[in-house]
Amino acid sequence: MTEQKRGCLTDRIKRKSKELLGYEINQLELRLMPYIQYSILNDRRVNPNHVSPEERPILSKWREAGHITGGASEMTMTKKFWDAVSEILWLGYVDIT
């Protein structure tokens, strides 16, 4: 069995995201989640200089789904999305086997 690396998208993360969000996330989305979680806890905004052009459509998708509001200004996140992100990050960065 191969050891999982931190921040690597795995089948169990894909399954969990499908269960919690209704779709399989991709690697870029997984790697954006820690920054979004950090931002909501600390600044309550996203620094545009810290988000790549490739990540911006992910933020738009989350906004359209109602998971987040704001961004560069006062950012909010639903409790359901917070819980989903936390669970996914647990699998991707903490509970690596």
25-74 pLDDT tens trace: 999 999 999 999 999 999 899 998 999 999 999 999 999 999 999 877 89
Residue 11 falls within a domain, yes or no?
Answer: no
The answer to whether the CB of 86 falls within 8 A of the CB of 60 is: no
Residue 41 falls within a domain, yes or no?
Answer: yes
Q: How many whole angstroms separate alpha carbon 6 and alpha carbon 4?
A: 7
Q: Packing angle between helix 27-42 and helix 79-89, nearest 10 degrees?
A: 120
Task: Enter the pTM of the model.
Answer: 0.88
Supply the pLDDT for residue 1: 44
> Is pLDDT above 90 for 95?
no
Residue 37 falls within a domain, yes or no?
Answer: yes
> Is pLDDT above 60 for 2?
no
Strands of the chain (E only): list them. Answer: 68-69, 76-77
Domain carrying residue 70: 28-92
Residue 66 falls within a domain, yes or no?
Answer: yes
Say how many domains are in the chain: 1
Residue 55 falls within a domain, yes or no?
Answer: yes
Residue 3 falls within a domain, yes or no?
Answer: no
Residue 4 falls within a domain, yes or no?
Answer: no
CA 9 to chain centre: 12
Residue 21 falls within a domain, yes or no?
Answer: no
Helix (H, G, I), strand (E, B) or coil at 78: coil
